A and B are shown apart, each in its own frame.
Chain A
Amino acid sequence: MIEVEYTDVAELRGPLVVVRGTGGVGWDEFASIRLAGGRRRHGLVLEVSGDLALVQVLEGTSGMAPGEIGVAFSGAPFGVPVGPGWLGRVCDGLGEPLDGGPPVSGAESVPVGGLPVNPVWRLPPSEPVLTGVSVIDLLTTLVRGQKIAMFSSPGLPHLDLAAQIAAQAHAPGEPFNVVFAAMGLTHADALGVRDTLEARTSAGDLVLLLNLADDPVIERVLTPRIALTVAEHLAFRLGRHVLVVLADMTSYCEALREVSSARGEIPARRAYPGYLYSDLASIYERCGKVRDLPGSVTLLPVLTMPAGDVTHPVPDLTGYITEGQIVLSRDVPGYPPVDPLASLSRLMRHGVGAGRTRPEHADLAAQLLAGLARARQAQELAELVGADALGPLDRRYLDLARAFTGRLATQGRTESHDLGETFDLAWQVLSTLPRAELTMLDPAAVDTFYRP
């Protein structure tokens, strides 16, 4: 194929190049840009108008000068090779190796934009992914095919927790892989994540894509899409259960805003583009389980709420699309600082119980949450009127909250609890309450496990 190169650059602005004199260039095509000296960058066509093509340069436009660059168009949207060759690899945000290995190859190349799954083909998620983190497995169980977000504030160990989940998560007795995509992470954070995931990476179970904070912002727009394209193939063609961790979606959204602003688009809330919802949906909706296929894609987007504000557009729109959230809070001591009352897994009810986790799981979680809610009220009251004014029952509830924090909700960053341990801990915690308070549980289960 003869590559036609266009060199007539009409404009350079932010991450954008306007190329004149093009013909037959299609919207959303992938472009290759040759710089003076022969180096190459990559781009996507954002708009075509007459003989003009507006190209977004993924690695940024710094050092580019009109007259010294040439742009060639590929005739197809941006795609990546797919297949098991990704497993065990560490790559940058565009999928180029960082681990010294050869470029990742695969049997076929697939556009990263993805296609929507026909809703009629979807199966409602109904089996758990176990993370080894007791507070999550017990109270906010991840369900295979679900998307559940982790909401955090700056300074909290959400990356540690996300990496721990990526290192430990599994679907008992089934093939399981993890794709971890980092967007805009600092070098220190990326190093930490890489370390935590080292064992699983070298075991050939995990794909790590790293777009760092000083990498080109525009690459970030593609990183999650590459991750999901790889994951979809592993899940729906190769039959694996795949957990995709996307951290940090706030950096991703900022990258999107940067491109939108460079294009002169009319800004919506907090200057994010008006299509932020559709754009986030095009990422988050790429999870699920499909009829007649064995695999699944479970999605865990992680995001930092700017100033801890849950009504900020990024967490707000994420909350509208995802099926629940794991909320980290400064008010929770120890690690992991998951706020159990603010966290919710909407599909959990379908994913736990007899044959999946333990028969009493849903009731036990409900009982524990009700108890923690009551303990919180008692705590607030105690702060107003003094602990002495509390009745004996309220004090038992405070004991429950203490036992919960101390025994169940706190664990080490490399410590993985199996389901049996998690339930043992949960029953120990519940056993701090008088038996008469355990009204939401089956009396037979209480007989078996209640040990005051």
Chain B
Amino acid sequence: MAAVTRVNGPLVEVDGLGGAAMFDLVTVRGLPGEIVAVRGERATVQMYEYTGGLTPGLPVEPTGSPLSAVLGPHLLGGVFDGLLRPLTGAPMWLEPRRLAGTPAGRWRFDPLVARGRATERGTPVGAVGTAGGLPYLVLSPGGAVGSIRPAGEYAAGDVVATIGDAEVRMVTRRPVREPLPCRERLAEPVPLVTGQRVLDLLFPVRLGGTAAAAGGFGTGKTVLLQQIAKWCDADVVVYVGCGERGNEMADVISDLARITDPRTGGRLADRTVVIANTSNMPMMAREASVYTGVTVAEHFRDMGYGAVLIADSTSRWAEARREFGSRAGTLPAEEGYPADLASAIAAFYERAGRVTTLGGRTGSVTIIGAVSPPGGDMTEPVTTHTERFVRTLWTLDRELAYARHYPAVSWDASFSRDAGPLAAWHDRNGGEGWAAARARVSALLAEAGHLSGLAELVGATALHPRERVVLLAGRLLREGLLQQSALSTVDAYCAPDRTLALTGAVLGAVDECLALVAAGTPAGDVEGRDFSAVLRAKESG
């Protein structure tokens, strides 16, 4: 029989686990753990809870399956821990040994297929009504429909259909470390609208794309990600608080419950799944939380929805891997991280994509991760590896944040590899002139940045009048267009047509000024004009 031989924090060594597979789940005295190394009969297990009181000799029970999450209609509007166990309804103090059973409650089920019909894997066979008006779809495992229940209320664990030789329930279990399969990845770029002008215009992200927000503490990462969670035009948002502050999670949860979803009229929370594994919850569940999060997102993708996964922060996830690697005696690579850091980061972001699902629908998973570089050092390994694998990088700048310029997205240290194709998409889809406006804004910001360096050396008055107007243009663009207040009721969200209109207004003012100096008006007079209408345009609805 398998038994514990060594306990060192979350690391447990077990003897007599012959036949167990890598990444299989085991339980020790009711606590879950995952096998991460096998040598002969001896296995190393990472435990997902506080291991106080575990002793050598305790029996270990293999479950024969990998770490899996319970997926079902209870996800929408719920708050869960890193192993996707419900926190809503759990006690105030989180004791170890909580188990994730089948969720309680009953849901309305409507069949979508008739008995006898052949279905492919992934075909919706039933719709389940949820609070937010977004139907949760029960998907076929593939095969002929043997039986299907009539419309009605059922418990999550009830069998609602038999298909092939499988019993289908509203809830299902999926291993979290393995991507859910799809039929095909789609290449065409379609934007995810975040409602944040600096992102949508300059550094956009596409449906099924990947983005990272990187910046030291105090630069506003969490507020930016929360804004995206609240306002982006995804069908489902999965928000993973991975090793972050408890009070911040409380803020997210209460905000989501308070805000009305502009698209459905219901609560924003009803299309959101929150995974809250805060910094003092078990460290290894924090490591697992990004995988459970992306699995939930893929699950909704398979129903044909656009899902966005937000992970704050992937640095804490990487640190949990480092912490465990160090206990397990893995040879460290850069800064003590295990050598598989780069491949793990790449594999995580690669789970994003806009795809044709097995059932033939179009769905997407967009991954947005926060990176918290220690000491704000952008050359540290998690940041540098992330930069290589994401298509969009938002570098948050401390100088901008100190100047209270939010979102503090740096325009010279950020990039979007999809910016060109997405601008062209806007041009084709009702946003005519988007690509040209974007190019103009980028060029002016770059030139203004260069000139302000020069002005600090020689003084602004020594510059050519046109150059002084370019400096002014930089300021108008920053204050009138790129700054956006998360607290403002009219400006927290900005639709693409409004972004384009504001851009046009600011560029119009810039052109006017350029024309004036070109015609001989002294630069000082141009600078002295009243620009308050341009600067306040964003504050009026």
* In contact, A268 and B322 (Cβ under 8 angstroms): yes
Residue of A nearest to B487 (CB): A349
- Indicate with 1 or 0, residue by residue over A141-184, a CB within 8 angstroms of chain B CB atoms: 00001110000000000000000000000000000000000000
B497 contacts A by Cβ under 8 Å: no
In chain A, positions 81-106 with a C-beta closer than 8 Å to chain B are none
* In contact, A316 and B375 (Cβ under 8 angstroms): yes
Set of chain A residues within 8 Å of B218, measured between Cβ atoms: 319, 344
Picked from A24, A116, A268, A313, the residue with its CB within 8 Å of the CB of B55 is A24
* In contact, A278 and B53 (Cβ under 8 angstroms): no
B539 contacts A by Cβ under 8 Å: no
Picked from B283, B320, B336, the residue with its CB within 8 Å of the CB of A268 is B336
* In contact, B283 and A275 (Cβ under 8 angstroms): yes
* In contact, A120 and B375 (Cβ under 8 angstroms): no
* In contact, B52 and A278 (Cβ under 8 angstroms): no
In chain B, positions 334-352 with a C-beta closer than 8 Å to chain A are 335-336
Q: Which residue among A111, A266, A274 has the maximum number of chain B CB atoms within 10 Å of its CB? A: A274
Shortest C-beta distance, B284 to chain A (Å), equals: 10
Residue of A nearest to B322 (CB): A274
Report the tally of A-B residue pairs with Cβ distances under 8 A. 173
B95 contacts A by Cβ under 8 Å: yes
Set of chain A residues within 8 Å of B254, measured between Cβ atoms: 124
Distance between Cα atoms of A199 and B112 in the complex (Å): 74
Distance between Cα atoms of A24 and B335 in the complex (Å): 37
Set of chain A residues within 8 Å of B63, measured between Cβ atoms: none
* In contact, A122 and B319 (Cβ under 8 angstroms): no
Distance between Cα atoms of A143 and B280 in the complex (Å): 21
Whether A321 touches B87, Cβ cut-off 8 Å, given contacts A265-B326, A285-B279, is: no
* In contact, B94 and A118 (Cβ under 8 angstroms): yes
Shortest C-beta distance, B217 to chain A (Å), equals: 4
B485 contacts A by Cβ under 8 Å: no
A49 contacts B by Cβ under 8 Å: yes
Binds B, one of A26-34, A55-63, A404-412, A422-430: A26-34
Shortest C-beta distance, A43 to chain B (Å), equals: 15
Shortest C-beta distance, B470 to chain A (Å), equals: 22
Shortest C-beta distance, A346 to chain B (Å), equals: 8
Distance between Cα atoms of A48 and B52 in the complex (Å): 11
* In contact, B54 and A286 (Cβ under 8 angstroms): no
Set of chain A residues within 8 Å of B332, measured between Cβ atoms: 266
* In contact, A145 and B279 (Cβ under 8 angstroms): no
- Indicate with 1 or 0, residue by residue over A117-128, a CB within 8 angstroms of chain B CB atoms: 111111111000
Picked from B54, B246, B253, B372, the residue with its CB within 8 Å of the CB of A320 is B372
- Indicate with 1 or 0, residue by residue over B217-229, a CB within 8 angstroms of chain A CB atoms: 1100000000000
Shortest C-beta distance, A239 to chain B (Å), equals: 15
Give the contact-size bracket for chain B.
35 or more
Shortest C-beta distance, B526 to chain A (Å), equals: 20
Binds A, one of B3-11, B138-146, B409-417: B3-11
Residue of B nearest to A283 (CB): B280
* In contact, A25 and B55 (Cβ under 8 angstroms): yes
Whether A311 touches B375, Cβ cut-off 8 Å, given contacts A28-B53, A116-B280, A120-B87, is: yes
* In contact, B52 and A77 (Cβ under 8 angstroms): yes
A46 contacts B by Cβ under 8 Å: yes
Q: Which residue among B91, B250, B276 has the maximum number of chain A CB atoms within 10 Å of its CB? A: B250
A288 contacts B by Cβ under 8 Å: yes
* In contact, B91 and A118 (Cβ under 8 angstroms): yes
Distance between Cα atoms of A317 and B313 in the complex (Å): 13
* In contact, A119 and B249 (Cβ under 8 angstroms): yes
Whether A274 touches B250, Cβ cut-off 8 Å, given contacts A266-B326, A319-B217, is: no
Whether A120 touches B253, Cβ cut-off 8 Å, given contacts A27-B52, A29-B53, A266-B336, is: yes
Distance between Cα atoms of A321 and B243 in the complex (Å): 9
* In contact, B51 and A28 (Cβ under 8 angstroms): yes
Whether A274 touches B319, Cβ cut-off 8 Å, given contacts A49-B6, A117-B92, A316-B375, is: yes
Whether A285 touches B278, Cβ cut-off 8 Å, given contacts A122-B249, A274-B319, is: yes
A363 contacts B by Cβ under 8 Å: no
B489 contacts A by Cβ under 8 Å: no
* In contact, B326 and A285 (Cβ under 8 angstroms): no
In chain A, positions 248-279 with a C-beta closer than 8 Å to chain B are 265-269, 273-275, 277-278
What would 21 A/B residue contacts be, using CB atoms closer than 8 Å?
A: A26-B55, A28-B51, A48-B7, A111-B52, A118-B91, A118-B93, A120-B87, A120-B88, A120-B90, A122-B247, A124-B250, A124-B251, A147-B247, A274-B319, A274-B336, A278-B280, A281-B279, A285-B245, A287-B247, A319-B217, A320-B372
B interface residues with partner A (beta carbon < 8 Å): 5-9, 13, 50-57, 79, 87-88, 90-95, 216-218, 241, 243, 245-251, 253-254, 276, 278-281, 283, 316, 319-320, 322-323, 326, 332, 335-336, 372, 374-377, 402, 487
A118-B90, A266-B326, A316-B375 known; 4 new pairs, CB 8 Å cut-off, are: A118-B94, A146-B247, A277-B243, A281-B279
- 3 shortest interchain CB distances as A-B pairs: A311-B375, A281-B279, A122-B250
